Structures are given as structure tokens and as C-alpha cells.
Structure 1
Amino acid sequence: MQVRDYKLYGLIVGLSVAIMIVCDALIYKTINIYGLKITGSGIVFSLNFLLSTIATEVYGYRLGSRTVWVFVFCQTVFVVLINIFAIIQPEGNELAKAYHFLFHDYWRVMLAVWAAVPAAYFCNGFIVSWLKIYFNGRLFIARYILSAVISQGVMLLISYPINLYGKYSNADLVNIIMTTWSYKVVISVVLLPLGLFLALVIKRIEKTDYYDWGVPYNPFLVFRENDPAIDRNRYDRSKSEQEYYRRTDNGSAPVGGA
């Protein structure tokens, strides 16, 4: 099935890009909760990892990872434009001064985008895809939580030092990283039922349950088409297997199998 045949893939990509842009806009906003500091972007960001995990779970590594390059392009355009208008012809009023103070070095966000987004999201896609093959599609809960814990840690350890170093003390920076990571782990568990529900619904709508057999995990090859001779969509087969095990549990499986 081609990308153009999917009903929801474009929507998932669009929502993901919108969330990433919002996260870039909130990167300098921190919230202090009883001495624990977390960024506004960190609060919103887990929604994007949820969508990324679902995209890879349903559509496979390549389609799931293509969104990463869309992120990088769109975020770069956003950051460059914000940075340009922050540094050209600064006016003398207080609002213009505040805008210049906040965004004159916004290019650091672009560096973080180039370094952290590919590293974290390709890590997430690899973990989700490889474990899906290893466990034959089972243990979605374990696969989801493990990928979130590792990938979001990668994201924070790369992006926050680039974005926030010099704006906060070293102690505050460590506080922000640890608090934001802990929050993301907790919220990943909270969002787990939603993630499981959405994955099942989207698989049913798209009639797709993709396994990345023989697919290279090179992030620079994600726009190449897969070998059509290999049937990687196991949606119908998965339904048959689930029905078989359900009937087996009810004691009505056919004798001798079928």
C-alpha cells in the first residue's frame, strides 16, 4: 500500500509537526513545582512521542521515520524566521527589547533540532520496530514504555544543554533535565491506554499492521520504497491468529489446527 492510500498518515504527520513547533516556542518557559523545574516544551512533548510510536507501530519504520525529516525541515524554517525577525532593526520600545532578548540567540534551538530530533526519534523508531519483530507484535506495553524511557532521555541529554546552557545555572539545568525526564516517563505510562487504543483503531481503519522484515534502519534511506516481493503487512494474518487464540481459550479450536 502506498502512502497516498493511507487515510490517517497525513493527519498524524501534521499533528506531530504542530506539536513540535509548539515545543520550540515553549522551550524557554519553565515551571517551578515545589523546587522541581520543568519546561513547557517538556510538558507538551510526550504527545509527540506517542504519535511517533503509533506511526512506527502501524506503518513501519520507514513511514514512521519520514516524519523526522519533516520535523527537522519545518522546525528549521520556524526557528530561522523567528531568529531573523528578532535581530533585524530592533526598536526602542520595551516589547521589542524583550523580544530581542528572548529570541536573538534562538539559533541554538535549530542546532538542538538538528542534533537531538534525529537522534531521539530514530532511536525511538528503531526500538519500536525491532522489538515488534522480536516479540512478534506482542508486549506493546513493554515496547512502548521502554522506547519512551530511552528515546526521551536521549532527546533531553542532547537538546537541553544546547538550548539552555548559560540561561540557567548548572544545578538548575540538571534539575530541569531530571524533572522533565521523570515527568515524561510518568506521562508515558499515563498515556499508555490512549496509545494502545489509538494503535488498534488506526490499524483497523488502515488495515495495516506493518513488520519491518529486511528493512534497513539507515535514516537516510527512509524515502526509498520497500521490496514489494516481501509482504510485511500482517493485519489480516494477525486477525486470524487472534481469532484462533480466542477460540482456543474458549475450548472451541478446530482439532488438528487449520
Structure 2
Amino acid sequence: MKTYRHLDTITGLFVAVLLISNIASTKILALGPFTFDGGTILFPLSYIFGDILTEVYGYGRSRKVIWIGFLTAILMSVTFALVGALPPAADWELQDAYMSILGQTPRIVLASLIAYFAGNFSNAYTLSKLKLKTRGRWLWLRTISSTLIGQLIDTGLFVAIAFAGLLPNSLLWTIVLSNYIFKCGVEVLCTPLTYAIVNWLKRQEHEDAYDTDINFNPFRLFRTN
């Protein structure tokens, strides 16, 4: 089996961005005309890393990394819930603060996991298929198109599952639109950086994957074909 010099690094960065974004999402902030959770500032990078993984290493290895991120996010959520449920020490007075930041409700956790899973796999599948159709040309078109689809699914599912019935429909649409525009805007602005990293990795790894013979089933977990 071929070994890669930088795949582990990209995987680690992808998972780090995912976990940090989930924690930062506990704060709602206003930035110019946008109102969104704090994780939105960093989370678009996970799609950029996803694009890089699929473009250079192929859908199979990207699928494996997405599953690693998914299982790690579950572990993080379970750990936070368990720590929050355990009784605090008698002289520790920050239980309420801990629960306010890290004691996420099961509905939020479920929304985050479903949206992540569906959005990232949609992104990887779209980019992989477009690479075949374009014969490896127009990387900018593939990365932006896959992000437009993946982020739409991700953002729409998260807001619908997490907040439907709790917030007015008009506010739900505002949150979806703000998040979607910001996330996709980051992808567009980072296109030159994506080009530079992809081209550098292809030279370093001597790899430029084309998924001509692969099973796109996302539930093959750690299979690379």
C-alpha cells in the first residue's frame, strides 16, 4: 500500500478544525450584516481540507477522514455530557458555566452530526464526480461547486434539526442565509490558497487521484476503494 508524507497532517488539521468549530459554536456573534455561531468563522476550512483530500488523495481516503472526524465528534460530545453529568467537587463553583458552554442539548448534538455527515460526503462526492467530468480541469469550478452543494445541505439540515419549532421561520431563513453566504464566501476567497496547497501536495505525494473505479457508498467506513 502506498504511503503518503502529508496525509496524516491534513487529517489532523481537518479533525482539529471540526472539534474547535463545534466548541466555538456555543457563542452567537454579529459580524457586519451577518449573525451566526462562532464556529462558522473556522468551519469553512473543514470544507477546504475536504476538497484538498478528495482532489489529491481521492474519495476513498477522504471518506475515511470524514468518518474519523465523525467518530471523534461523537466522542467529544459524549465526554462533555458525561463530565457535565458527574457531580462537581464541593469547592468548584463553575458547574453552571461549564454547562452553559459545553453542556449542549442532545438536539444540537444530533443536528451537528447529521449535518456534518451529509454535508461533507455531498462535498466529496460532488468534487470527485466533477473531476472525472472535467478531466481534472478547472479546479476552481470543482471546489466552489462542491462547497455550494455541501454547505447548503450542511447548513440547511443543522438549522432545521436544531431550531425548527423553536424559532420563527423568518429567523430560521435569516440564519441559514447568513451562514451559507459567509461559508461559501470563505471558500471563494481561499481559492488561490487551495490551488497552491493542492499543487504542492500533488508534487510532494506524486499523487493526483481520479476515482474511476470506486464505490461511493459513504458507509464503507475505512475502505479506500
> Which TM-score applies when normalising by structure 1?
0.79
User: Is the deviation greater in 148-157 or in 33-42?
Assistant: 33-42
Cα shift readout 1:38-92 (whole Å, capped 9, x = no counterpart): 2111111111100000100001100011111101111111111111222332579
Residue 151 of structure 2 aligns to which amino acid in structure 1?
A: Q
- Listed as ranges, the matches of 1:1-258 within 5 Å are 1-2=1-2, 5-34=3-32, 36-89=34-87, 95-164=94-163, 170-221=169-220, 223-226=222-225
Q: Distance in 2 between matches of 1:105 and 1:13?
A: 25
* Percent sequence identity over aligned pairs: 29
Secondary structure of the residue aligned to 2:29 is strand
Q: Do 1:57 and 1:209's aligned partners in 2 also have CA atoms closer than 8 Å?
A: yes
Quick one: structure 1 residues 225 and 37, their matched pair in 2 at CA, closer, same or farther if it must change by over 3 Å?
Answer: closer
| Deviation of 1:225 (Å) | 4.8
Distance 2:32 2:165 in 1: 23
CA distance in structure 2 between the partners assigned to 1:23 and 1:12 by the alignment: 16
CA distance in 2, matches of 1:34, 1:51: 26
Q: CA deviation at 1:117?
A: 1.6
CA pair 108-153 structure 1, distance change in 2 beyond 3 A: same
- Distance change >3 Å, CA 52–CA 91, structure 1 → 2: same
**What's the secondary structure of 2:94's corresponding residue?**
helix
* Change in CA separation of 1:205 and 1:184 when aligned onto 2, cut-off 3 Å: same
Distance (Å, rounded) in 1 between the aligned partners of 2:95 and 2:112: 26
Q: 1:27 to 1:225 in 2, by over 3 A?
A: closer
CA distance in 2, matches of 1:194, 1:141: 11
CA distance in 2, matches of 1:203, 1:192: 16
CA-atom RMSD in angstroms: 2.2
Q: 1:185 to 1:105 in 2, by over 3 A?
A: closer
Q: Is contact 1:55–1:64 with CA below 8 Å preserved after alignment?
A: yes
Give CA-to-partner distance per residue, 1:8-34, whole Å, 9 cap, x none. 000000000001000110122111135
* Matched residue type, 2:63: S
Structure number with bigger Rg: 1
The Cα of 1:166 is off from its aligned counterpart by 7.1
Change (3 A) 1:37 1:62: same
Question: What's the counterpart of residue 233 of structure 1?
Answer: none
- Cα offsets for 1:71-118 (capped at 9, x unmatched): 111111111111122233257976322322444444334312431122
Q: Which moved more, 1:12-21 or 1:163-172?
A: 163-172
Distance 1:175 1:189, change over 3 A: same
Displacement of 1:169 after TM fit?
5.2
Residues 165, 7 of structure 1: alpha-carbon distance in 2 compared, 3 angstrom cutoff: same
Separation in structure 1 between the aligned mates of residue 32 and residue 98 of structure 2, nearest angstrom: 29
SS in 2 for 1:197: helix
User: In structure 2, do the counterparts of structure 1 residues 102 and 161 end up closer, same or farther at CA, with 3 Å as the change threshold?
Assistant: farther
Deviations 1:148-189 (A, max 9, x none): 111011111112333455775544433222111101111111
Report which stretch shifted further, 157-166 or 127-136: 157-166
- Note if contact 1:62-1:222 (Cα within 8 Å) is conserved in structure 2: no
User: What is the TM-score when the length of structure 2 is the normalising length?
Assistant: 0.90
Contact 2:81 2:103 in 1 (8 A): yes
**Does structure 2 conserve the Cα–Cα contact (< 8 Å) formed by 1:82 and 1:106?**
no
